[in-house]
């Protein structure tokens, strides 16, 4: 057994490049696990700067000076940030509060609908089953009320955190974009002169992650925007809130689109019942989902992410459990990174 372990260790860790990769991975993972909350503004700024860097790179490919590209992209980012903080977040928060206040009415109306099912379909559902479903719904509504109460009690720290983020993140993003080369040279100075394997992994990861993450950010914006306008045109309640939810749902492959369908259809049903407006909203929503999957995704993602669906779902569960929203957002790029590491890891030839 010891000989097997020694041979395995010799094959995968005898190369200095492999040791360097292991140290970098261990250091990065330790920092993320122990200091993620403390460094959250820095990590968020790095993500945003990385997203914006792709646009600045396009400016440079069009022979526009980097300084001018940074100014244009950063100005657009600040404008969008002001819109989100000043207009979108208060509107979504207000609509979320309205929706939660309306939940008891929706639950009561749902009770009436459920109580009529045993008479209409006696062979399929009984009064006992209906009472069980009603009890479960009542418990869920009470849980939501308690969650809302606890959230309201914790709102002051959340507001303080939002203020801190609103000041620190734009400032950090600016310096990450402006001094990108200086920061990279400073970091590379800590590495040994021979870091070919680390560079190879970074190039492959940057190609995969850059394509996916930037494409996903554009997809969130476009899907959310093109969902809002028809919802607002039809007069659907909570149009802004639902559009934000639909936009964010594209982060989670396969599952997000299915889950977000329920709030859209439930809100439409309780507003209009089964009628023309309900079918118009439902049809528009399913059309947007179809266009997203069959037109938008192929256009945005020029390079296919060659991962099995099982690997994608496992990555979402694992990284989402470790790092929450950002873990879910980066689940597929991180899974691609793992795959790139496995393929690029230096190995000593196996000897019999």
Map out the domains of the chain as residue ranges.
34-193, 195-352
- The model's pLDDT over 99-140, given as tens digits with 9 standing for 90+, comes to 877 777 777 777 666 666 666 666 666 666 666 766 776 666
Which stretches of 250-330 are DSSP H helices?
Answer: 255-272, 276-291, 297-300, 309-329
Q: Which has the closest alpha carbon to 106: 134, 125, 70, 69? A: 134
Q: Which residues contact 219 (CB under 8 A, 6 or more apart)?
A: 250, 292, 296, 297, 300
pLDDT score of 79: 92
- As a whole number, the mean pLDDT across the chain is 76
Each residue's pLDDT tens digit, 54-69: 788 888 888 888 888 8
Q: Which long-range contacts (CB under 8 A, 24 or more apart) does 32-41 make?
A: 32/323, 33/322, 36/323, 41/164, 41/165, 41/168, 41/169, 41/172
Answer with the residue of higher pLDDT: 170 or 311: 170
Q: Phi and psi at residue 18, in whole multiples of 5°? A: -65, -40
Residue 173 pLDDT exceeds 80: yes
Confidence class for position 227, pLDDT limits 50, 70, 90 = very high
User: Cα separation of 34 and 27, whole Å?
Assistant: 11
Integer distance in angstroms from the first to the last C-alpha of the chain? 16
pLDDT at 75: 92
- pLDDT digit string, tens, across residues 193-224: 666 666 676 776 776 666 777 778 888 889 99
Q: DSSP strand E in the chain: where?
A: none
Longest dimension (CA), the chain: 78
Contact 331, 320 (CB under 8 A): yes
* Closest residue by Cα to residue 99 from 240, 258, 273: 240
Helix axis angle, 155-178 relative to 180-188, nearest 10°? 90
Percentage of the chain with pLDDT > 70? 66
Tell me the C-alpha distance between 222 and 6, whole Å: 53
Q: What is the DSSP letter of 350?
A: P
Residue 286: its pLDDT value, please? 92
Distance (Å, rounded) from C-alpha 314 to C-alpha 175? 35
What backbone phi and psi angles, to 5 degrees, belong to 190? -80, -10
Mean pLDDT in residue range 39-52: 82
Rounded to 5 degrees, φ, ψ at 348 are -80, 135
Per-residue pLDDT averaged across 25-29, rounded? 75
- CA-based torsion, 85, 256, 263, 97: positive or negative: negative
- The band of 303, judged by pLDDT with boundaries at 50, 70 and 90, is low
**Cα 294 to Cα 308: distance, rounded to the nearest angstrom:** 19
C-alpha distances in angstroms, 295 versus 54, 108, 125, 261, 314?
22, 41, 41, 20, 26
Query: In this predicted structure, what is the pLDDT of residue 104?
Result: 72
* Low-confidence winner among 238-252, 261-275, 293-307 (lowest mean pLDDT): 293-307
């Amino acid at each position: 057994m010891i000989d097997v372990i020694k041979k395995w260790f010799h094959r995968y860790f005898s190369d200095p490049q492999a040791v360097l990769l292991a140290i970098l991975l261990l250091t990065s993972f330790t920092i993320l696990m122990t200091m993620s909350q403390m460094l959250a503004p820095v990590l968020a700024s790095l993500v945003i700067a990385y997203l914006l860097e792709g646009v600045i790179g396009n400016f440079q490919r069009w022979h526009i000076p980097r300084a001018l590209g940074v100014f244009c992209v950063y100005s657009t980012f600040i404008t969008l940030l002001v819109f989100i903080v000043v207009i979108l977040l208060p509107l979504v928060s207000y609509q979320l509060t309205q929706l939660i206040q309306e939940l008891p009415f929706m639950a009561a109306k749902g009770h009436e609908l459920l109580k009529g099912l045993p008479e209409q379909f006696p062979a399929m559902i009984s009064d006992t089953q209906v009472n069980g479903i009603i009890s479960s719904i009542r418990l869920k509504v009470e849980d939501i009320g308690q969650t809302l109460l606890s959230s309201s009690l914790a709102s002051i720290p959340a507001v303080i955190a939002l203020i801190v983020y609103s000041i620190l993140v734009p400032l950090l993003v600016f310096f990450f974009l402006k001094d990108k080369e200086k920061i990279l040279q400073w970091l590379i100075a800590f590495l040994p002169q021979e870091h070919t394997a680390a560079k190879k992994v970074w190039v492959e990861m940057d190609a995969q992650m850059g394509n996916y993450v930037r494409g996903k950010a554009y997809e969130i914006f476009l899907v959310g925007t093109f969902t809002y306008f028809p919802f607002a045109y039809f007069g659907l309640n909570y149009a802004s809130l639902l559009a934000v939810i639909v936009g964010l749902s594209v982060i989670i492959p396969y599952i997000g689109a299915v889950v977000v369908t329920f709030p859209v259809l439930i809100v439409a049903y309780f507003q209009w019942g089964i009628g023309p407006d309900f079918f118009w909203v439902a049809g528009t929503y399913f059309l947007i989902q179809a266009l997203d999957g069959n037109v938008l995704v192929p256009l945005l993602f020029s390079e296919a992410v060659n991962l099995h669906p099982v690997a994608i779902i496992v990555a979402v569960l694992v990284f989402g459990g470790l790092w929450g929203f950002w873990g879910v957002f980066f689940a597929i790029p991180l899974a691609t990174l793992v795959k790139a590491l496995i393929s690029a890891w230096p190995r000593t030839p196996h000897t019999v």
